[in-house]
Amino acid sequence: MNILDKIVADKHREVSLKKTLIPSKQLEQSALFDRSENSLTSALRNSSTGIIAEHKRRSPSKAVINQKVSVQDVASGYQTAGACGMSILTDGKYFGGSLDDLILGRAATTMPLLRKEFIIDEYQLLEAKAYGADVILLIAAVLSRKEIKFLSEFAKSLSLDVLLEVHNQEELEKSIMPSLDMLGVNNRNLKTFEVSTDISKSLSTLIPDEFVKVSESGISSIDAINDLQQYGYKGFLIGENFMKTENPGASATEFIKALHS
């Protein structure tokens, strides 16, 4: 069993338990549930930089990244830096995140928030909406085409943007459907954890133009972004590069300034 299989098995157990503790109806009554739409897709289409900055405390591949900074400080720092949106890891066991991080991020910023999670059940989409997310992530590697269709359509019914993440051509071809807004290519091989932007480049021509193209993982330089923009990418998800510093917001500010110039 690889790390992804372990995470998904744990996620099924976690969601089953949470359903018994907090009913769906309770989530739907959240004060944030009827927030007006704040589209990351539109923000990326209208941006020259396309940075989606991430809050991530740790990961299975890198252990601790940054446990010291508060999510509120990171969120307000990213907004000041001019990021298009913010990705917040909410998985606890493997990434040290929580839904509380999402709600604290929401309190600190007005930019679109992505709930970065291993989504396997529509209950998690209700959670995302209730805790202030604007965008949800679906990972093709852990979902069938039928599940992607059901979850993406359910997300759209909640006025949530949908970012679908793929790692190879096979995942991309099974996933393309009208209920997606953005197609993200993860440059990290989930089996080896090796990172290369070559996968984003090779899949770029297979992604239809109606979807916003997002490149994820292993992006740490201005050159990498300038290079990927030539392949039609409008969004760039950057986490570790900012989070491994003492002040992620300041790092993002410096990076985005350099990108503008």
Active site residue ranges = 54, 56, 116, 165, 186, 216-217
Contact 189, 168 (CB under 8 A): no
Q: How far apart are CA 116 and CA 193, in angstroms?
A: 18
- Which letter does DSSP use for residue 35 in this model? P
User: 213 - beta bridge partners?
Assistant: 183, 233
Task: Give 134's contacts (C-beta < 8 A, 6+ positions apart).
Answer: 37, 38, 39, 40, 85, 112, 113, 114, 160, 161
Contact 45, 234 (CB under 8 A): yes
Contact 200, 215 (CB under 8 A): yes
User: 53 - beta bridge partners?
Assistant: 86, 238
User: For 62, phi and psi rounded to 5 degrees?
Assistant: -120, 5
Q: Which two tokens stand for residue 78?
A: 């990213």
Give the residue from 28, 45, 41 showing the smallest Cα distance to 161. Answer: 41
Number of continuous H segments (helices) and E segments (strands) in the chain: 12, 10
Give the residue from 198, 182, 216 showing the smallest Cα distance to 45. Answer: 182
State how beta strands 135-139 and 161-166 pair: parallel
State how beta strands 233-238 and 212-216 pair: parallel
